[in-house]
Amino acid sequence: MIDIQLIRENTESVQKQLQTKESGIDLKPIIQMDQEMRELKTQVEELKSKRNQTSKLIGEKKRTGEDTSAILSEVATLGKDISNLDDNLNTIEKKLSAALSNLPNLPDPSVPVSPNPQDNALVRSHGEKPAFDFSPKHHLELNDQHKLFDLEKSAKITGSGWPLYRGNGARLEWALLNFMLDYHVKNGYEMILPPLVARPEIMYGAGQLPKFKDQLYKLEDDLYLNPTSEVVLNGLHYDSIFNASDLPQKYAAYTPCFRREAGAAGSGERGLIRMHQFNKVEMFCFCHPDQSETLFEEMVHHAETLLKNLGLHYRVMNLVTGDLSFGAAKCYDIEVWLPGQNRYYEVSSVSNCRDFQARRSKIRAKSGSDKPFLVHTLNGSGLATSRLLVAILENNQQPDGTIPLPTALHPYLGSLTCLK
């Protein structure tokens, strides 16, 4: 959530920046509601002050034996006026809060300005696209030979868009998760296995509600399935205050993630590319504002290192304003090349959210007797596995359909070093 004070003092500038993310944003209604709210607060304070002063007269007049009926009537009228104004104030505060909660985060000045994702800027790349002297197969074709997943059986169980890994496919998926978690723990992240559901206020704090209500899976008892570990990790310190000396706090979590939009966004994509459920290892940091840019680069480095260790070609893209997520001030997508799709796909998205989530979640820090300040939050996929599995299968395939597996995964796979 954006600080209302910033909007008051820099309305035109803030609006122009927000419109680079969502062109239709108009801050006039928010400014009008804010002005009305402040006027109502002033009126309430003035009436309460007048009521207090008038109430004092009642005691004085009673001591002198004077008639107080007129003053009592005036106090009663003031009370009714204050109550009515309080009701109006409560209504306008709720409307203003709702309007503010639907505003995306401001983009960082380093983010390229464009509404078109095709303008995402290349930061760097690693390795080269694999050169095949045969026609590479799609991972669905490779699966016909290796029986790694079964989308027909998962469709019987749940419907289309849900994965079912089996045999060596399940082993490979599990190996990837353990490989990534081990790496993050060695690099100072505390491993977390969080709940897979969250309360509405936790979803709100992470920026999922109310904006993305239609993309979430909601349970009957007012809990939501985890759409990304970022949500539950942000919730670890909801409405709390860090000791500033304890920052940064770095976490790595594994969870399945659940999202409704899989079918709509990827109707032309086959196989494991876009699922309603997928596995992901998430990096998440709470930090002092002065630390967030350094930590952002560090998290990108960690995601890149995992891909280097897996021997995969990738590129790092600085997302334009129009492609930034709702809560991100800055985001790098790390994309791997998938020969079966003949295009790049994102396997990690690292975002600096500045104080956007912390303001919504009331997450602060303080040093000694100093005034508490909002922390910064950062999140990054480290990494998402379904497309990563696809990348390993499609990039390492041989003419006979065999698939040598990355050396980095061998310690997690026993004698399984090649799919034959």
Give residue-wise pLDDT tens across range 188-205: 999 999 999 999 999 999
Closest to 378 measured CA to CA, from 262, 272, 257, 252: 252
Give domain limits for the chain. Answer: 4-101, 117-419
Give residue-wise pLDDT tens across range 208-247: 999 999 999 999 999 999 999 999 999 999 999 999 999 9
pLDDT for 262: 53
Our answer to whether residue 38 is catalytic in this structure is: no
Our answer to whether residue 83 is catalytic in this structure is: no
pLDDT for 6: 97
Count Cβ atoms below 10 Å from residue 381 Cβ, excluding itself: 27
- Cα distance from N-terminal residue to C-terminal residue, the chain: 52
- Cis preceding-peptide flag for 256 (omega within 30 of 0): no
* pLDDT-derived band at 267, boundaries 50, 70, 90: very low
Give residue-wise pLDDT tens across range 361-415: 999 999 999 999 999 999 999 999 999 999 999 999 999 999 999 999 999 999 9
Give residue-wise pLDDT tens across range 10-23: 999 999 999 999 99
**So what CATH class is 4-101?**
mainly alpha
For residues 277-304, average pLDDT = 98
pLDDT for 30: 98
pLDDT for 61: 72
How far apart are alpha carbons 187 and 250 in whole angstroms? Answer: 10
Q: Which position among 51, 259, 359, 360 bears the catalytic label?
A: 259
**Cα separation values, 71 from 43, 53, 65, 80, 85, Å:** 20, 11, 14, 14, 21
Q: Which position among 51, 274, 354, 359 bears the catalytic label?
A: 274
pLDDT for 263 beyond 60:
no
**Cα separation values, 325 from 4, 212, 320, 339, Å:** 21, 11, 10, 27
Write down the pTM of the prediction: 0.93
* pLDDT-derived band at 327, boundaries 50, 70, 90: very high
Helix axes 69-101, 28-63, angle to 10 degrees: 160
Q: Which position among 74, 93, 141, 346 bears the catalytic label?
A: 346
Residues 6+ apart with CB under 8 A from 129: 313, 337, 339
One fold for 4-101 and 117-419: no
Q: Three-state SS across the chain? A: CCCHHHHHHCHHHHHHHHHCCCCCCCCHHHHHHHHHHHHHHHHHHHHHHHHHHHHHHHHHHHHCCCCCHHHHHHHHHHHHHHHHHHHHHHHHHHHHHHHHHCCCCCCCCCCCCCCCHHHCEEEEEECCCCCCCCCCCCHHHHHHHHCCECHHHHHHHCCCCCCCECHHHHHHHHHHHHHHHHHHHHCCCEEECCCCEECHHHHHHCCCCCCCHHHCCECCCCCEECCCHHHHHHHHHCCEEEEHHHCCEEEEEEEEEECCCHHHHCCCCCCCCCCCEEEEEEEEEEECHHHHHHHHHHHHHHHHHHHHHCCCCEEEEECCHHHCCCCCCEEEEEEEEECCCCEEEEEEEEEECCCHHHHHHCEEEECCCCCCEECEEEEEEEEEHHHHHHHHHHHHCCCCCCEECCHHHHHHCCCCCEEC
pLDDT for 268: 57
pLDDT for 54: 81
Give residue-wise pLDDT tens across range 292-323: 999 999 999 999 999 999 999 999 999 999 99
- 26 is written with which tokens? 């108009």
Residue with tokens 């998926």: 173
For residues 173-190, average pLDDT = 98
- 378 is written with which tokens? 């950062």
Strands 121-126 and 314-318: antiparallel
* pLDDT-derived band at 286, boundaries 50, 70, 90: very high
Our answer to whether residue 260 is catalytic in this structure is: no
Our answer to whether residue 51 is catalytic in this structure is: no
Q: Which position among 173, 325, 387, 394 bears the catalytic label?
A: 387
For residues 110-131, average pLDDT = 97
Our answer to whether residue 23 is catalytic in this structure is: no
- The CATH number corresponding to 117-419 among 3.40.50.720, 3.90.1150.200, 3.40.50.80, 3.30.930.10 equals 3.30.930.10
Q: How many CA atoms lie within 13 A of 236 on its CB side?
A: 19
Q: Which position among 348, 349, 361, 381 bears the catalytic label?
A: 349
Mean of all residue pLDDT scores within the chain: 95
pLDDT for 265 beyond 80:
no
Lowest-confidence segment of 96-105, 266-275, 327-336 by average pLDDT: 266-275
CA 226 to chain centre: 11
pLDDT for 65: 73
Burial track 61-98 (b if 16+ CB lie within 10 A, e otherwise) = eeeeeeebeebeebbeebeeebeebeeebeebeeebee
Angle at 81 between CA 79 and CA 82, to 5 degrees: 65
Count Cβ atoms below 10 Å from residue 52 Cβ, excluding itself: 11
